Structures are given as structure tokens and as C-alpha cells.
Amino acid sequence: MYRFIDVFAGIGGFHLAMSDLECECVYASEIDPYARKTYQANFKIKDEIFNNDITKQDVSEIPDFDILCGGFPCQPFSQAGYKRGFEDAGRGNLFFKLADIINEKKPKAVFLENVRHLMRHDHGKTYEVIQNTFDEIGYDLHTKVFKASDFNLPQHRPRVYMVAFKKKDSVDFKFPEPIPLNTTMSDIWGGDCTRKIGYTLRVGGRGSGIDDRRNWDMYMVDGEIRTLGPVEGKKMMGFPDDFVFPVSETQAMKQLGNAVAVNVVQAIGKEIVKSLNTIK
């Protein structure tokens, strides 16, 4: 059984996916108090291994682990963060905290997720820094963009996924191939929806109106306008029906908008585990 840590954990999409692959979570970190509440309600994680501020964590005190998972903060690399990248000291530099953890603990694999724009930010210079950082600490980096709909979740949600292994292990890693989309928005709603693939779940702009270009949470179902809620959002993100939100609906939708697409993470995680099994 491989041990993993869940950094910038959100509500636990990585935790859910990797646990289903029979990996064990030995440490997690999340700063948002509402997301922590949801994480604890679903995973019953012990307080002593659930850090609330990774910037204050003594890296040497993190338990040993095999895989580092993290959806590191995307704001510095997105439109919402004004594209400041590594110049955003409060958030962009959190990547370097990850690098410190990797350099100190030397895990067998690293598994990260971020917004697609990360690849183009600052004319590619931001991604180049990430690549060079992994190279300097002795890891080969593999990168690919997938949409949630590539793994049977009916929303676009393009995200960049980064997987790294120690150079000395010479791992022959390949990302999984997309699978046919068998679930549509009509399945999500349990009625006839005019859209096959849904909008990307987002954090802001709820209730903009079905005809507004910013709309992402209103759909025409059986001839009526319906508004997306946590029940539908969970299905679109790959969270199970019994996943609970001990927070307001507003917070639940925000948390889903910030979450990782579980099906995608699990498909990639399966290939990571397969690759680790080949290391002698």
C-alpha cells in the first residue's frame, strides 16, 4: 500500500480517488475552515495529521510518504488572480513550499493539478520555472491537459495535470487515454436537458441568468429553467452521493467549484500506481 499526503486538500478529491486505489492518506493540509469542516466530515482525519497552514509546517515533521498530491492554489495563474504568477508572494510562492517538501522528503511520485492557463502564463515562463524546479531537485515531469468530460464527467473543466517521478527510477509513465462520455447532463438532472456537456463549475457568478454569457449554473430541463445545486454538482465532479456538506449551499457550491474532478484524478492515479509497481 502506497502512502500519500494531500496538500491544498480542499474537500478531498485527491483523497477520495487515491483511497479508492488502496493508497493510505498519512497527512493533509487545508487552510480554509469551511473546506476543513467538509473534509473532516467525510474522511474522519485525525487532528494531528490535518495541518491548517502549510507555510508554517516544519517539513521534517511531515510523515514519510510515497506520493504527494496537491491541487495547489490556481489564483496566481488564472484570470481571477490577475495572472501575477510567482510575483504573487502570498499564493504563487506556495509552489516553492511544495518544492521544499518534495526536496526534503523525496517521495516516489508527485501528482499536481492546476488551471490550464498555467501552461501559457507569462508567455510560458511560469511553467518553465516549474519544470526547472523539478529538474533541479531530481524529478522528471510529465504534463497533460484533460477535460472532465474525457473521463465520463459531463462538464468541460480543462485542467493541467502534472506527474513527476525521481529521475533515478527511470519510470516509463504514460497518462491514461480518455474514455467515451456515457453520462450526460440529462443523466445528471434526471430529465431532458438541452446540453449534453455542462458548463465548468466555478466559484463566482452564480445566478447570472440562463441567457447571460457568464451563466454556468442554470440549465433548461424538461422545458423549465433549473439551477444547479450540490446534488447535481457532486455528480458532475465525480463525488459519491453519500458525500456530505456540513456547510451552507453557497459554501458547498464554492467548494465544488474549487475541487478536482475525481474521475480524472483516479484515472491518472491508477497509472501512477501502476508505474510505481515497476520500480525495483
| Whole-number Å distance between alpha carbons of 51 and 271 | 28
Number of Cβ within a 10 Å radius of residue 38: 24
Question: Active-site residue 74, yes or no?
Answer: yes
Q: What are phi and psi of 7, to 5 degrees?
A: -100, 140
Q: Which residue of the set 23, 25, 74, 193 is catalytic? A: 74
Judge whether 164 and 98 are in contact, CB under 8 Å. Answer: no
Measured in whole angstroms, how far is the alpha carbon of residue 276 from the centre of its chain?
21
Q: Which three cell numbers stand for residue 234?
A: 457532486
Helices (H), ranges, the chain: 13-20, 33-43, 94-105, 125-136, 185-189, 230-237, 249-258, 262-276
Distance CA 276, CA 247 (A): 37
- Closest alpha carbon to 72 in 38, 50, 96, 46: 96
Closest CA to 168 of 280, 69, 1, 63: 280
Active-site amino acid positions: 74
